[in-house]
Structure 1
Amino acid sequence: MNKKMMGPMAILFIIQFLVMVGFGIVVPILPFLVSKLGGGAFALGVFMSAYSIMQFIFAPVWGKLSDGIGRRPVILLGLFGYGVTFLMFGMVNNLYVLIILRALAGIVSSATLPTAMAYLADITEGADRSKGMGMIGAAMGMGMIFGPALGGFLGKYSFSLPFFVAGGLALLLLPFTWIFLPESLKEMNKGQGRKRARLTPQVLKDPLFFLFAFNFTLNFTMSMFESTFALLASAKVGFGPTDMGITFAILGIFAVIVQGGLIGKLAKTFGDAKLVNTGALLCALGLLSIIITADAKNIIFLVSATVIFMVGNSLMVPTSSSLVSKQSNQGQGMSLGLFQSFASLGRILGPLTGGALFGLNMGFPYVAGAALLVLVVLVAGPKISVNIPRPLVQD
């Protein structure tokens, strides 16, 4: 990756880090905040799903817009909206307004990730693109390490303080983004996103649908894991909040190592498609290992099983994104927006399905997730390695 790319890469890295800090910062204080405002379990569920529902709807819209007017203005708009909504969070003292703001935050934050990935696709190619996607994934992993920690620390003083800090940091980053992030989409390529828009049944015929299916499955199984693992670990090995915090910190560290340090070399050696399929199988192995080690009540092996799952996840995220950008023939921003919408759909349905299955049997979410991952490898795996329809980086 040449020096010219490093400045924009640094800006994109910080933006995605802040977005995931904002996503994770509410995790340790959310139940207490909702309870303080008079809400119960249903209100908490609505609050959690509102963010992903809005991302599901609006990620393709932002991606299409970035194909039409350029990446830079969409990223700036998303960053500004992110900062403002989080500052407003800190001022809210009404549950219904809080839910509306959470939905609004989902709308504006969905402008950043697909557009950042499209920006990377504009300025990179080959293994550099997978490495760049991995760095973005590493930034998100770091955000999910620091976000909950920051929220828990600041939330001891005030429920509003974490939101003010996250929003303030985003707005402080805005002038640096304005100055140091040039437009990446060449004038000749603008307007591609106007050709096709949309999250409709027609997406089933999209040549990239099999990659969208991978992304849905990845996020569906990940959210089932996230929504049930604390309950499983508590029941089987007596984990408490501190143990969970340590476990998720370990997972975040491995995500950063794989996506930030290894993915470029691995993609160059094995290719993106092989890493996507291998990652899915490792995720399946990790889920099954979690059940086995939890029943055996072995804490070290249980944490090791979650690491296997996270390594597989970290192999899939940047390489599948890279494949979408390489194989898109309808505007990379829109394709990556659709890609992120399928991720959001997985995050909407995963917790609901995981909770229902967990109520029947603690192991069902993990067995079902492993089976679904193996199925997607068998059905979609052979379809994702296809010829790139056109060169994406033009001199």
Structure 2
Amino acid sequence: MKKEFIRPMIILILVQFLVMVGFGIVIPILPFLIEELGGGAFSLGLFMSAYSIMQFFFAPFWGRLSDRIGRRPVLLIGLSGYGITFFLFGLAGNLPLLIAFRALSGMVSSATLPTAMAYMADITEGADRSKSMGMLGAAMGLGMVFGPALGGWLGDYSFTLPFYFAGTLALLVLPFAWKFLPETLKEPNKEPKKKVRLNFSVIRDPLFPLFVFSFVLSFTMAMFETTFTLFAAERVGFGPKEMGMVFMIIGIVGVIVQGMLIGKVVKRFGDAKPAKFGALLCAFAFLWMLWAPNAVLLVLGTMVFMTGNSLMTPTSSSLVTKNNHNHQGASLGVFQSFGSLGRIIGPLIGGGIYELSMNTPYIIGIVTLVLCVIIFGARIQDKKAEESGFSV
């Protein structure tokens, strides 16, 4: 990577870290805040879904916009809007306003990830690209390690303090992003016929297998996050303190794999093999968790799951950029929308099915992951962007 791009890459990593800190910072305080505002379990689910629903619809829009007007303005819009919405959270005095601001936050924050990935793809090539995508994933993983911890600590003083804290962090980074993020899109794409549109025609897109991978990755991760606390409490008696440690451990595993190991793995095996192996490793981890007879083995199972998840995340997104270099922002926007769809459906199915049988969400996860590899694995191959001829 050229030296002039090192500083922009650091800013991008910091932006994604802050986005995930903001996402995770509400987790420990949210049930109490919603209860204080007169809501219950349904309101909590609606609050969580509102963010992903808006990401699902708006990520492609922001991705297409970054292909047309450039990466820099879209990133700045996303970061500034993200910070402002957190201040609005703190000011919300009733439940409908809180949910509305959550939806607004999902809408504007969806400008950051696909655009950051497209920006990273503009400044990197080959194994460096997968390594850079891995560093973005590691930053997001760190955000999910520190976010809940910060939220719990600040929430002891006030339920609204974590929101103001996250908003302040985002707005403090904004001047650095303004100064140190140069535009990387050399030739804005203004071809309306080649836009990626999120409709049923996407099934015919050459990148569709990777979009499905994004959905499956997010779907299984969301089911895990929704049900594992209940599963671990029933199986081995874990409480809030133990669960905090578990999520910290798996967050660290994600950081290590995506931040330190993925570049070496991709350099040796390419992107496609680690992506498919990661899916099978996640399926194996679910089977492990169903079998685990004690707490130690159960935690080891979660570490295996996070390893597989961390192999899938940067390699699948890197394959999207390598197989479509003309419309990377748009393609990554659709890629992220499929991920958002998984984060919408996963908690609903996982939570609903868990009520009937605690093992069933993990069985569904195993079947989904294995079928994904069997059906789409042969179509997921390493191809250089200039050779693929993919157009969307």
Does 1:218 pair with 2:217? yes
* 1:275 to 2:271 alignment: no
Q: Report the Cα distance in structure 2 between the residues aligned to 1:231 and 1:104, rounded to whole angstroms.
A: 30
1:29–1:159 contact (8 Å) kept in structure 2: yes
Question: Is 1:118–1:325's contact at 8 Å kept on the other side of the alignment?
Answer: yes
Q: Which residue of 1 aligns with 2:78?
A: 78
Aligned residue number for residue 48 of structure 1: 48
Q: 2:345 aligned with 1:349, yes or no? A: yes
Structure 1: tracts of 5 or more residues without a match: none
* 1:238 pairs with 2:234: no
Return 196-205 or 300-309, whichever deviates more: 196-205
Change in Cα spacing, 1:193 to 1:174, as seen in structure 2 (3 Å) is: farther
TM-score (norm 1): 0.96
**Deviation of the 1:274 alpha carbon:** 0.2
1:308 pairs with 2:304: yes
Q: Tell me, yes or no, if the aligned pair for 2:253 and 2:303 is still in contact at 8 Å.
A: yes
Matched, 1:39 2:39: yes
Q: What residue in structure 2 maps to residue 259 of structure 1?
A: 258
Q: Match for 1:283: what amino acid?
A: C
- Equivalent residue for 1:143? 143
Contact preservation (8 Å) 2:85, 2:101: yes
Q: Does 1:179 align with 2:175?
A: no
CA distance in 1, matches of 2:258, 2:23: 19
Deviation at 1:329, TM superposition (A): 5.2
State the distance in 1 between where 2:192 and 2:146 align.
35
Aligned 1:362-373 pairs, distance under 5 A: 362-373=358-369
Q: CA 1:189–1:69 in structure 2 vs 1: closer, same or farther (change >3 Å)? A: closer
CA distance in 2 between counterparts of 1:3 and 1:361 reads 54
**What do the CA deviations read for 1:79-138 (whole angstroms, capped 9, x no partner)?**
000000001111111110000000000000000000000001111110000000000000
Q: CA deviation at 1:190?
A: 3.4
Structure 1 residue 322 displacement after superposition: 0.2
Q: CA deviation at 1:358?
A: 1.1
In the alignment of these two chains, the number of paired residues is 388
Q: Percent identity at matched positions? A: 62
1:361 aligns with 2:357: yes
Spell out the pairing of 1:313-352 with structure 2 (5 A cutoff). Answer: 313-328=309-324, 330-352=326-348
2:172 counterpart letter in structure 1:
L
- Structure 1 residue runs of 4 or more that deviate by more than 4 Å after TM superposition: none
Partner of 1:107: 107
Letter in 2 for 1:92: A
The answer as to whether partners of 1:86 and 1:166 remain within 8 angstroms in 2 is yes
Task: Determine the C-alpha separation between the residues in 2 that align with 1:137 and 1:34.
Answer: 30
Distance change in 2, residues 1:91/1:128 (3 Å):
same
Distance apart, 1:196 and its partner CA: 1.3
Give the distance between the partners of 1:55 and 1:198, measured in 2 at CA.
Answer: 15
C-alpha displacement of 1:193? 7.0
Structure 1's 201 and 141: CA in aligned 2 closer, same or farther, altered over 3 A? same
Helix, strand or coil: the match of 1:90?
helix
Contact 1:68 1:194 survives alignment (8 Å): no
CA distance in 2, matches of 1:196, 1:53: 21
Q: Secondary structure at the match of 1:390?
A: helix
Q: How does 1:125-136 map to 2 (within 5 A)?
A: 125-136=125-136
- Structure 2 distance, partners of 1:103, 1:157, is 26
For 2:352 and 2:151, how far apart are their aligned partners in 1? 28
Find the aligned partners of 2:289 and 2:235 in 1 and give their Cα distance. Answer: 11
Structure 2 contact 50–102 (Cα < 8 Å) conserved? yes
Give yes or no for the alignment of 1:287 onto 2:286: yes
Q: 1:178 to 1:192 in 2, by over 3 A?
A: farther
**Which letter does structure 1 place at the counterpart of 2:315?**
T
Quick one: distance in 2 between partners of 1:379 and 1:330? 27
Match of 2:371 in 1: 375
- Partner SS for 1:179: helix
CA offset at residue 387 of structure 1? Answer: 3.3
Could you tell me whether the CA contact under 8 Å between 2:222 and 2:346 is conserved in 1? yes
Q: Alignment partner of 2:282: what SS?
A: helix
Amino acid in structure 2 at the alignment position of 1:151: G
Q: Secondary structure at the match of 2:386?
A: coil
Cα offset, 1:361, TM superposition: 1.1
Instruction: Tell me: CA distance 1:113–1:140, structure 2 relative to 1, closer, same or farther (3 Å).
Output: same
Cα distance, 1:389 vs. partner? 4.6
- The alpha-carbon distance between structure 1 residues 274 and 192, as it changes in their structure 2 partners (threshold 3 A), is farther
Rounded Cα–Cα distance in structure 1 between residues aligned with 2:119 and 2:325: 16
Whole-angstrom distance in 2 between the partners of 1:229 and 1:282: 18
Q: Does the 8 Å CA contact 2:196/2:331 hold for their aligned counterparts?
A: no
Do 2:123 and 2:184's aligned partners in 1 also have CA atoms closer than 8 Å? yes
- Give the Cα separation in 2 of the matches to 1:227 and 1:62: 28
